[in-house]
C-alpha cells in the first residue's frame, strides 16, 4: 500500500522480513495476526507529507502463528538512547518478560549508555537481563540501562552485534535514534545478516511522525500541570504576580498545548509553531500589561523552542545533531522587566522550569499499559522475522510502521487544527500577532 505525497514520492507501508517464517509458534492463542492489515484515515494531522487525506493500510502488530526464529536459539539485545522519558523502564521490562516467559529466548542483553555501549573503546560492560533483574524497574523513572546522545558508526555497531551473535535488536529512542536504527538496519541488510532491528519510538515532545501520542507523553502533561498550578498559586499570592513555566518542546508544542488545556489557568502559551511579537499592536507585552492591570496576575507557558526568531541565530548543534536553542525564558524575563519599568507598573515574577523533573518521573498507569503493549508487540514482530520497522499505536490500534515513515519528518502541532483553536479559546490570546493561523 502507498499514498501520494507533495513530492510525488509514494509512502510505502510494506514491512521488510528476514525470510519465510517456517516454524510454528508454541504460544497458546487461537487468534493470530499473520496476514492481518488494518485501514486508517490519514491526513496531515498524522503526517505532513500526505498530499490528500486518504485511507492507508498497515500491517497489524501482534503474535504470529508462524515464526522465523527458533526462540530457544535467539539472543536479543536492548538499547535506550537520547533523553529520558517516563516509561522507558516499563518498555525494557515488557521486552524482557515477553521474550523470556512467552518465547523462552536463550539470552537477553542490555547495551549500556546508548549507542556508546556498542563501541568497545568506551568500555561500557554489557548487562545480562533476566526477569529477576527487571522485576521492579517499572517502579522507577529513567532507564536502568543508561543513555547517551550522539551518533556512532553503524558499521562498528553491527560489528559488535555480529560478534555477540545477536538475532534481534530492540532500539528505544526518539527521532534521531530511529534514524540511527534505520542506518543499523541498512548495514545489517548490506551484510545479508539474519538480524531483526525493531524500533520503539520514544519522545517526550510527542514529535514522531505518524504517531499521535508517544509513550510517556500523558505522564509528562500531567506533571507539567502541577508546575503550572504552582505558578498560578505564586502569581495569585502577590500583587501583579506573573508566573512563567518553561516546558519541553524543541520544535513541537504539544506538551505546552495539552497542559494548558488540562488546567485552564494559563493566559498565554507560546509554542515553536506559532511565531509571536513582543511589542506593538497584538504584541505579547502590551497584552500581558493589560492582563495585569485588569486581573492582577498572569500565567505564561512557553515551550523551549518557542520564540527562536527573537534570538540571535547560530549554527551550533548538540550531540544529537539538533540546533542549539537560544534561551527564550531569559528574553521574556528581560523584556517584561524593561516594558513594565517603562510603563511604571510594579510586578513580581516567578519562573519555573520543571523539565528534568518531568522527564525523570515514573510513568502513570495509562502509560504503563501502553509501554507493556509496545514491548510485547516488538517481541512478536522480531520472532516473526520482521525488521527495519517500529511498533506504533495508531488510532488505538497497534501496527508495524517502516522506519522511513517515522524518520521522514518531525511531527508538529498544526496551528490550523481544532487543538490550537481550543488553546486560543482557553487562554484568550487569539488576538496576539502570530497566534492565529
Give the active site residues. 205
* Interaxial angle between packed helices 254-263 and 217-236, expressed in degrees from 0 to 180 and rounded to the nearest 10: 60
Distances (CA, A) of 241 to 232, 246, 418, 427, 428: 9, 17, 31, 17, 18
CB 287 within 8 A of CB 336: no
Q: Which three cell numbers stand for residue 305?
A: 523552542
CA distance 313 to 94: 43
**Three-state DSSP string of the chain:** CCCCCCCCCCCCCCCEECCCCCEECCCCCCCCCCCCEEEEEECCCCCCCCCCCEEEEEEECCCCCEECCCHHHCEEEEEECCCCCCCHHHHHHHHHHHHHHHCCCCEEEEECCHHHHHCHHHCCCCEECCHHHHCCHHHCCCCCCCCCCCCCCHHHHHHHHHHCCCCEEEEEECHHHHHHHHHHHHHHHHCCCCCEEEEEECCCCCCECCCCCCCCHHHHHHHHHHHHHHHHHHHHCCCCEEEEEEECCCCCCHHHHHHHHHHCCCCEEECCCCCCCCCCCCCHHHHHHHHHHHHCEEEEEEECCCCHHHCCCCCCECCCCCECCCCHHHHHHHHHHHHHHHCCCCCEEEEECCHHHHHHCCCCHHHHHHHHHHHHHHHHHHHCCEECEEEEEECCEEEEEEHHHHHCCECCCCCCCHHHHHHHHHHCCCCCCCCCC
Amino acid at each position: 500500500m502507498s499514498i501520494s505525497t507533495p513530492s510525488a514520492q509514494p509512502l510505502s507501508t510494506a514491512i521488510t522480513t528476514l525470510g519465510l517464517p517456517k516454524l510454528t509458534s508454541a504460544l497458546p492463542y487461537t487468534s493470530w495476526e499473520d496476514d492481518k492489515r488494518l485501514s486508517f484515515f490519514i491526513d496531515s494531522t498524522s503526517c505532513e507529507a500526505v498530499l490528500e487525506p486518504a485511507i492507508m493500510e498497515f500491517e497489524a502488530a501482534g503474535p504470529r502463528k508462524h515464526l522465523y526464529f527458533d526462540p530457544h536459539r535467539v539472543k536479543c539485545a536492548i538499547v535506550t538512547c537520547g533523553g529520558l522519558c517516563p516509561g522507558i523502564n516499563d518498555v525494557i521490562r515488557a521486552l524482557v518478560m515477553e521474550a523470556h516467559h512467552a518465547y523462552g529466548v536463550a539470552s537477553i542483553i542490555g547495551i549500556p549508555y546508548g549507542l556508546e555501549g556498542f563501541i568497545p573503546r568506551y568500555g561500557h560492560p554489557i548487562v545480562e537481563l533476566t526477569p529477576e533483574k527487571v522485576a521492579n524497574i517499572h517502579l522507577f523513572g529513567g532507564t536502568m540501562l543508561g543513555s547517551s546522545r550522539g551518533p556512532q558508526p553503524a558499521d562498528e555497531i553491527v560489528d559488535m552485534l555480529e560478534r555477540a551473535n545477536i538475532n534481534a535488536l530492540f532500539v528505544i529512542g526518539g527521532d534521531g535514534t530511529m534514524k540511527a536504527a534505520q542506518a543499523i538496519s541498512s548495514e545489517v541488510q548490506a551484510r545479508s545478516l539474519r538480524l531483526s532491528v525493531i524500533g520503539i519510538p520514544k519522545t517526550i515532545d510527542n514529535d514522531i511522525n505518524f504517531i499521535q501520542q508517544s509513550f510517556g507523553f500523558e505522564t509528562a502533561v500531567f506533571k507539567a500541570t502541577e508546575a503550572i498550578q504552582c505558578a498560578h498559586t505564586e502569581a495569585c499570592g502577590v500583587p501583579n504576580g506573573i508566573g512563567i513555566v518553561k516546558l519541553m518542546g524543541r520544535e513541537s508544542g504539544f506538551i505546552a498545548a495539552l497542559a494548558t488545556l488540562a488546567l485552564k489557568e494559563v493566559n498565554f502559551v507560546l509554542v515553536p509553531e506559532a511565531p509571536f511579537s513582543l511589542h506593538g499592536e497584538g504584541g505579547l507585552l502590551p497584552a500581558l500589561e493589560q492582563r495585569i492591570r485588569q486581573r492582577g496576575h498572569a500565567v505564561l507557558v512557553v515551550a523551549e523552542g518557542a520564540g527562536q526568531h527573537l534570538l540571535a541565530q547560530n549554527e551550533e548543534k548538540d550531540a544529537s545533531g539538533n540546533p542549539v536553542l537560544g534561551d527564550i525564558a531569559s528574553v521574556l524575563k528581560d523584556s517584561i522587566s524593561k516594558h513594565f519599568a517603562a510603563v511604571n507598573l510594579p510586578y513580581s515574577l516567578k519562573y519555573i522550569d520543571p523539565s528534568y523533573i518531568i522527564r525523570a518521573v515514573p510513568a502513570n498507569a495509562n502509560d504503563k499499559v501502553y509501554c507493556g503493549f509496545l514491548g510485547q508487540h516488538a517481541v512478536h514482530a522480531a520472532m516473526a522475522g520482521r525488521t527495519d520497522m517500529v511498533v506504533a499505536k495508531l488510532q488505538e490500534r497497534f501496527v508495524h510502521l517502516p522506519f522511513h515513515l517515522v524518520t521522514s519528518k518531525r511531527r508538529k502541532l498544526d496551528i490550523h487544527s481544532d487543538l490550537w483553536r481550543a488553546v486560543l479559546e482557553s487562554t484568550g490570546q487569539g488576538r496576539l500577532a502570530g497566534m492565529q493561523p
